[in-house]
Structure 1
Amino acid sequence: MGLPVLIISVLLFLILFFGIGFLLNMILRSTWVMAIIYPIVVILIVDNVGLLEYFTSPIVSLRALGSDLVSLKPADIIILSSGMLGAVLSGVVIRMLRARGYRMF
């Protein structure tokens, strides 16, 4: 992966998950909703195991998840971390806006 693609991907994940987190926090009136949901989204992005298999055969699917997480490349980790940063930033911004008296929905 080239450097321009990495930079664009980082910006896209940051903005995407900031926007989704901001809207969810505003609608659900909960500050850290996306920061809690984001690790589940990462698992769904990274893992090749279906969601139902976590309940039917948890040991096998968790081992597969572990091996998939270990095999991530540094660029993938940077991109996924920028998404988490966007989710956390959305919570911080919502909290600051509420502290300053803005009421959303």
Structure 2
Amino acid sequence: MAVVGQLLALYWPVVTVEGPVSWTDKVVHLLVFAAPTYAVGRALGSVWPSVLAFAVHAPVSELVQHHLLPGRSGDVWDAVVDLVAVALGAGALVVRGRLRRW
């Protein structure tokens, strides 16, 4: 479900994110990359395939938005936040794995 939500958020033709602060869009990017990274890694039982897939998807999604989706624009800072989110999702998986062994 997290992956479906991510794909909808990233590839829907026009997305307007409104919120009380100007960085709400970045919070959405954190959520749509951290949650799927965690969910897929947990489902696969391995961190690295999930990290690799979503780390590649982060810049690709911004390029697709910029070049192929009318009404959307790619943003380098969104890609940076996406990569930070992938690292956070992976970190949560590693911590979860270590806590389970403890």
TM-score, normalisation: structure 1: 0.59
Structure 1 alignment gaps of length 5 or more: 50-71
Question: Is 1:93 matched with 2:92?
Answer: yes
- The 2-side partners of 1:80 and 1:94 are apart by 21
User: Larger radius of gyration, structure 1 or 2?
Assistant: 1
Structure with higher RCO (Cα < 8 A, 6+ apart): 1
CA RMSD of aligned residues (A): 2.1
Kept after mapping to 2: 8 A contact 1:32/1:88: no
Residues paired across the two proteins, number: 73
By how many angstroms is 1:9 displaced? 1.1
The code of the aligned residue for 1:46 comes to L
Single out whichever of 76-85 and 29-38 deviates more from structure 2.
29-38
Structure 2 alignment gaps of length 5 or more: 1-20, 69-73
Tell me which of 30, 40, 47 is aligned to 1:24.
Answer: 40
- The 1-side partners of 2:32 and 2:45 are apart by 19
By how many angstroms is 1:44 displaced? 4.2
TM-score, normalisation: structure 2: 0.60
Kept after mapping to 1: 8 A contact 2:55/2:86: no
